[in-house]
Amino acid sequence: MITLYGIGAGFGLPEISPFVTKTEVQLKMAGLAYEKRIAQPSDGPKGQVPFIEADGVRIGDSTFIRGWVERTHGVDFDEGLSPEQRATAWAVERMMENNFAWAMVFERWLDPVNFAKGPARFFAGAPQTARDAVLDEVRANVRAGGMGRHSDLEIVALGVRSLAAVAAILGDRRYLFGDRPCGADATVFAMLAGALTPFFSGELRRRAEGFGTLVAYVDRLMAQFYPDFAWDLEPAKAA
């Protein structure tokens, strides 16, 4: 049995971390039984979630977990894709994880309202006297990393370019490369759901809502992989 460690449901999503969502969807795609447990990122071998435990081994990082699943369970998430499609899938995945995800992080962590109702909760355990200083420090660290040197508008513009690129690749297909989901669909779904959740508001979310095919794609994959989750784009209902 595989144990998947993540943050858990919240922010209007079945799982707060898009990287955990990616792994969870891939486990579902592979039809593998797993148990899900809540953990702190610091519990993981790489100080992040997701991580899994299986056959006495602990593996951290969604990409290496995918590799382990493919090697040990004879799965090829990109089965049927041409070499060019496989290359595109990898490039899209890197774009969404290493660039788009940062634009999303900025909307959640640097907008004071989004931060207070969302990520600030992660620090609820900090001693009251030190809490404000801790929160200021983590937000300063976020600003200093990734694409934080750009202006807010430039960050949104970069995020929108990624949305447009994914929409162009998806076209009017059901999944990125046809009628069957591939590994990168898990990533793209997870990142787009994170950007669209009505729990947060902001310019990136507003622009994401304008990509009708991406909104429909997220609705479709949410219904397929999280059929029991009440996904609703209405802000008032998100918890």
Ligand X SMILES: N[C@@H](CCC(=O)N[C@@H](CS)C(=O)NCC(=O)O)C(=O)O
Residues forming the site for ligand X (CB under 6 A): 17, 19, 41, 47-50, 61-63
Torsion of CA 91, 14, 161, 183, to 10 degrees: 20
Closer residue to ligand X in complex, CB, 19/115:
19
What's the min distance (Å) between Cβ of 179 and ligand X? 27
In whole angstroms, the minimum distance from the beta carbon of 13 to ligand X comes to 11
d(CA 209, CA 103): 15
For the CB of residue 39, give the shortest distance to ligand X in the complex, in Å. 9
Helix (H, G, I), strand (E, B) or coil at 127: coil
CB of 61 to ligand X, least distance (A): 4
For ligand X, the closer CB: 26 or 62: 62
* Residue number, 19 or 211, with CB nearest to ligand X: 19
Of 41 and 198, nearer to ligand X (C-beta) is 41
Question: 146 vs 198, which CB is nearer to ligand X?
Answer: 146
Residues in the chain: 239
Please say which residue, 4 or 156, places its beta carbon nearer to ligand X: 4
Question: Nearest distance from residue 225's CB to ligand X, in Å?
Answer: 18
Burial of 141 (0-12, 13-18, 19+ CB in 10 A): exposed
* Nearest residue to 194 via CA among 108, 135, 115, 98: 108
Q: CA 166 to CA 211: how far, in whole Å? A: 10
The candidate with the shortest Cα–Cα distance to 89, out of 175, 16, 15, is 175
Smallest gap from residue 49 Cβ to ligand X (A): 5
Alpha carbon separation from 6 to 51, 60, 135 (Å, rounded)? 7, 11, 22
